Chains A and B, each alone.
Chain A
Amino acid sequence: MSAILQTPKDWPSVLLARAGAKDPGNIDEAVQSGAFDGLRRAIRELGPEGTTAAVEAAGLRGRGGAGHPTAAKWRTAAGTEARERFVVANGYGADPAASTDRTLIEADPYAVIEGATIAAFAAGAEQVFLSVRATDTTAVTRLQAAVDAASSRNFIGDDVLGSGRRIEVEVRPVQGAYMLGEETVLLKALDGKRGQPEQRPPHPATRGFRNAPTVVQNVQTLAAVPAILTGRKGAAGTILVDLRGHERSGVAEVPLGTPLRDIVELGGKPAAGRKLKAVVVGGPTGGILPPDQLDTAYSYEDLRAVGAHIGSGSVIVADDRACVVDLARLLTRYAADEACGKTIPCRIGVRRLAEIGERLSTGTSRGGDLGLLEDLAADVVGSALCDHERLATLPMMSGLRYFRDEVDAHYLRGDCPAGVCRTVRLATDRAPVGAPA
């Protein structure tokens, strides 16, 4: 589990409310502090439609990155004619540099189990899969133990809380590539198939796991549900952020809409004599934002408007020792390597974007590269099958948008102002970088 960062007193603590527990796996302690109260209310008071309506009224949206309204998915799944339905909790945590979902599972496995059970109740599903990254062994064992404990108390299983409803919960460790986090790929992985995204519509809520209606929900989304049903204030409004700050790093629960500046400040100040240069928001396909965008609210729409996104919840600060071109090159290369190969613009286009980045950072750019970058990025976005390629252009495009001077220094002069890229200078009248005088 990553460190949990201290946040200001007036920020609500919903997802990590039980994070301080001595033993997060202890079901008695969890129940004492309110676990499964939400499930009880859903079953005894609200009923499936009432539960969905309550989640809708709270305005809960998916924490997996895209921010889809949660209740809409439940309603679609419940309203689709089918013999069986499924709920899948997405706890894969695709971004290797972010550990929000894993931290949540380790800190409060019962919230995830309860939320998933409520979702199954509302959507009319009998089977829940909790998918976790197989290499996160602590999360896997803790979640499994919690499922066993919850099942021995009839919170899940054949007769949920004496209601006669059957909801089986199964922990499914999965492992694969970055793309496994994408919902249609995850559904394939649960079925042991090659992981490549599917065309949508039909969305998984109508046709998902084994062609049955399937609600795929990020674990944070699910963990917020019990809090909503028990009427906790601000329950639908927080999200976990994995901050890699100047002095401190860790996971923090922040209210959606918090200015980026406040999040960055949780990580402390730049080292003496340094200053903040950029913030990478959204993980490997995140946008690289300059300090003058720090007033942007950390919310789905506002981040997209400035060329970043919530994505994996990762927020990484870089001071003036970093080179934006190098960062963008690295992120784009990772995104290209992880592309699944199904769509040609993604498989080849993102690779070509990465190569443009690599040419910039080695000082071997060709005339027209920047124009090509913009054209190609537009084409890749325009012909995307899954969100990966739509987002994979963000690092390079935000770099170009906000750090034009630095990009131009690389492009026109083969020069890296931050001294990170080992460029081959193009101009013959200058010594190559690093050459003895």
Chain B
Amino acid sequence: MELLRATVPGLGIVKGMALTLRRFFEPKATVMYPEMPPDIATKFRGRLQLLYDENGSLKCETCFQCAQACPIECIDMGGMDTKGRFHVHWGPPETYGERREESAMRRSGRTVPDQAYEHFASFDLDTVDEILEGYDHDPKHMLQILEATQAAFGYLPVAAIKRISERTGAWYAMVYGTATFYGHLRFEPPTAGGGPVGVAARRPSDDGYVTALGASLGGGSAAGGADSAARPPRSPKKGRVQ
């Protein structure tokens, strides 16, 4: 056999051609895209769908990673973030076509009519524009811009966040992500009860954690040791040493 293969010239070509011929008469699986578009319903927009896990809870954790990753910003979302804060979503539904056009227009500097957004538009956006002007629309000053906006409105209205995103060119998800990370920034007006406002505001989970820890220990260890509501009040003498 070895000898045969070595001595008959062209045997390999014949074998190769045999395969070609066989495939030639087999049914074809090639899709002739884009000459022949696939048969898809006209309204299909490649809609995103959030999945539920086997316990019936949404698998999406509102982490915004997908929104941040999407190059044409077609994704936005609403819901509770991991800090238990509610974020109202402003965009039209996560529909590929609509958002693509809007993004394109926005990038070319035109104003974009946006019905969902008009719902929030009763804000005085001139104030936001002035703040943005003051920081030269520079996304590198995002924290300062957000702080100034909160100082003006008492919180960060959705419309203001959107405006900041538009004017600085920073992704909405990035602006929102920055805003959620800093404990002193808020998304809802301060409560009438007059809880801590602005820079003095503590993230609720800190005290909540310390209190819960104390409760879980069931009095088995002395209160305090920490930073907390659970700490015994300072003696006036100590409090004076500022």
Interface residues, chain A, CB within 8 Å of chain B? 1-3, 23-24, 93, 96-99, 102, 134-136, 138, 141-142, 175-177, 180, 189, 191-196, 242-250, 267-268, 270-271, 274, 277, 284, 314, 316-323, 326-327, 330, 334, 336-342, 347-348, 351, 418, 420
Contacts and interface: CB of A to CB of B under 8 A. Distances in A.
Contacts of A277: 220
Contact of B207 (A96, A246, A249, A340): A96
B225 A318 contact: no
Contact of B61 (A193, A323, A330, A351): A351
Given A135-B202, A194-B174, A347-B61, A96 B220 contact: no
B115 interface: no
Given A316-B213, A420-B216, A96 B226 contact: yes
Interface string B216-231: 1111111111111001
A321 B218 CA distance: 6
Question: Most A CB atoms within 10 A — which of B64, B82, B143, B227?
Answer: B227
Given A138-B242, A316-B217, A98 B226 contact: yes
B181 A99 contact: no
Interface of B is mostly: loop
B216 A326 contact: yes
Interface residues of B, number: 48
Question: Most A CB atoms within 10 A — which of B64, B203, B206, B220?
Answer: B220
B183 interface: yes
B3 interface: no
Given A2-B225, A250-B225, A271-B220, 20 more contacts: A24-B241, A96-B207, A96-B210, A98-B227, A135-B200, A138-B242, A194-B174, A194-B177, A196-B177, A244-B224, A245-B221, A249-B223, A249-B226, A316-B213, A318-B220, A320-B220, A321-B219, A322-B216, A322-B218, A341-B63
Interface of B: 59, 61, 63-65, 82-84, 140-144, 174, 177-178, 181-184, 199-200, 202-203, 205-207, 209-210, 212-213, 216-228, 231, 238, 241-242
A249 B223 CA distance: 7
A121 B129 CA distance: 43
B201 to A, nearest CB: 9
Contact of A97 (B83, B143, B218, B226): B226
B241 A23 contact: yes
| Interchain residue pairs A-B with the least CB separation, the first 7 | A192-B143, A249-B225, A244-B225, A319-B220, A321-B218, A341-B63, A96-B206
B223 to A, nearest CB: 7
Nearest to B227: A99
A74 B102 CA distance: 50
Interface of A is mostly: loop
Given A176-B183, A337-B83, A342 B65 contact: yes
A192 B144 contact: yes
Contacts of B216: 322-323, 326-327, 330, 420
Contacts of A245: 221-222, 225
Question: Most B CB atoms within 10 A — which of A3, A135, A248, A277?
Answer: A135
A341 B241 contact: no
Contacts of A321: 217-220
B221 A316 contact: yes
Contacts of A99: 225-227
A318 B221 contact: yes
B7 to A, nearest CB: 57
A105 to B, nearest CB: 13
Given A334-B209, A420-B218, A177 B225 contact: no
A354 B206 CA distance: 18
Contacts of B59: 348
B181 A195 contact: yes
A192 B222 contact: no
Contacts of B231: 2
A50 to B, nearest CB: 38
Nearest to A188: B181
